Amino acid sequence: MGKRMKFAKLFRFFLLSLLSMYVSFNATADGIGVTNGRASAANRSVSPNNLTYMPEAYRKQALRLVLQEANQIAEALQLPEKLPIVETNLLGWHVSPPAISRMTKSVGNITTSNYTYYVSVDGKFSYLEGTHQDTDRQRWFKEYSWPISRLDTNVAYQLATQWLAAASIDVAALNKDCDLHIQPFAIRKQGTNECFLPVYWIFWTKGVEGHGSTASIELFEPTKTLLQLRVEDSKYIHRSSLLTTNLMSASGQNRPGVSE
């Protein structure tokens, strides 16, 4: 999937990586924690002009909002989660310091035993990733090997669009603006016949295929298991941004131009 990222997405990823390295270095040097669910985020000795500066009030508010968004998504998509998702049950979480949030428009993410929920595009929920996809695929390869005659892209499309719509993603606009692609996973020979693992990747692209997807879903059709959901363009995400004045005011660094 990474090979299909556009240059702009690669640049954004590069920028986020550099910022993360900077934050990690300074967090270690200053004795603060910004990416550890068990560590304190208090950093009273750090200047508000430092990229790692994150008041406890901001951390609590941001994490509360990300948790709230994750609960809404888990319920809307009927994911196999124990609801409500609460901080004490998380495997991990990350909250970006306010200075970085303003630059990248990313708030943070939380990880449960089943999924990681990201609020990363324009302060909106934008990505969902299963936490045990590799082990699932290894098991499925042993249990499922369907003949190519059972390939059904219509079922895959219906599942994908139902999930997207439930997450308030504008499917109609994606279909209007983008090219739709549906690819089964790992078509291979089994004796003299072709077979496949019924994992489907449904994705929407603009322009030449192979230069990045605007939105995508990966799913396992027999058990209707959602593996990944990604939306790269904010205009197709009809959800509220968490980068509100209320959140940014908790940072002590509120700036004009932050929308409610």
Measured in residues, the chain has a length of 260
Q: State pLDDT tens for residues 220-254.
A: 999 999 999 999 999 999 999 998 766 766 666 54
CA 49 from centroid of its chain's CA atoms: 28
Which band of pLDDT confidence, cut at 50, 70 and 90, is reported for residue 24?
A: very low
Q: Does the structure show a pLDDT above 50 at 174?
A: yes
Q: Say how far apart CA 184 and CA 145 lie, in whole Å.
A: 12
What is each CA distance from 103 to 12, 97, 123, 164, 172, in whole angstroms? Answer: 11, 10, 11, 27, 30
DSSP 89: G
Nearest Cα residue to 153 out of 96, 209, 203: 203
Q: What proportion of the chain, given as a percentage, has pLDDT over 90? A: 53
Q: Does the structure show a pLDDT above 60 at 6?
A: no
- The domain spans of the chain are 2-123+241-249, 133-236
Furthest-apart CA pair in the chain: how many Å? 68
Return the pLDDT at 193. 76
Return the pLDDT at 202. 97
Nearest Cα residue to 252 out of 97, 105, 112: 97
Q: Say how far apart CA 182 and CA 139 lie, in whole Å.
A: 23
